[in-house]
Amino acid sequence: GYSGSLAGVGFSVLPSDRYKFELDAVYSNRVFGFGSSKAFFNCFQLPLSVQVRRETLSLGAGFYGALWRNGRADNQISSFSEVAADEVGKGSKEYGFLGLLSLRSKILELPFYLALRYFSSTSDIAKSALLKGSLTEYQLLVGLDFAFSGKNTALNSSGAP
């Protein structure tokens, strides 16, 4: 139940007006906690999705993989220490599926992209046989959606885009 930050880039292929394939590279700061202790783990996510489009709205599903990096722990006296994923019983890889709902719209002449994504791991989050479980994550993305194609980047005879 903690919020973290993320940043990334995405690449989409639109074979038709109805379908879209999207591959993203996201660097996410995941925050976990219990009581007065928190741990912050950075991970690199690679989601791949297939989406059905209707005008500016898209609905999709796909798969993702994530690589966990070292993080830091905040103990009860607010001091920080470096923590490896292995030290808390976490493996360094995670796999799962995702669902998403996105909207593309122009706001102040900028091509905004808004998406709500749901991630659910299928791999166990703990390496211990005594502690099994999966991870669920929600992401709210706000970004810019630029299109590059022959139609959008070609200049007309006057030299104007």
Tokens (6 digits) for 139: 């992401």
From the list 35, 28, 139, the residue with the least C-alpha distance to 94 is: 28
- The pLDDT value recorded for residue 125 is 65
Tokens (6 digits) for 151: 């139609």
SS3 88: helix
Tokens (6 digits) for 66: 């994530």
**What is the distance between the alpha carbons of residues 34 and 39, in angstroms, rounded to a whole number?**
9
User: What is the residue whose two structure tokens read 């990334």?
Assistant: 8
Q: What is the pLDDT of residues 67-123, one digit of tens each?
A: 887 665 555 455 555 555 555 545 678 889 999 999 988 888 888 889 999 998 887
Q: What is the pLDDT of residues 25-78, one digit of tens each?
A: 999 887 776 666 666 778 899 999 999 999 889 999 999 998 887 665 555 455
- State the burial class of residue 42 (Cβ atoms within 10 Å of its Cβ: 0-12, 13-18, 19+): middle
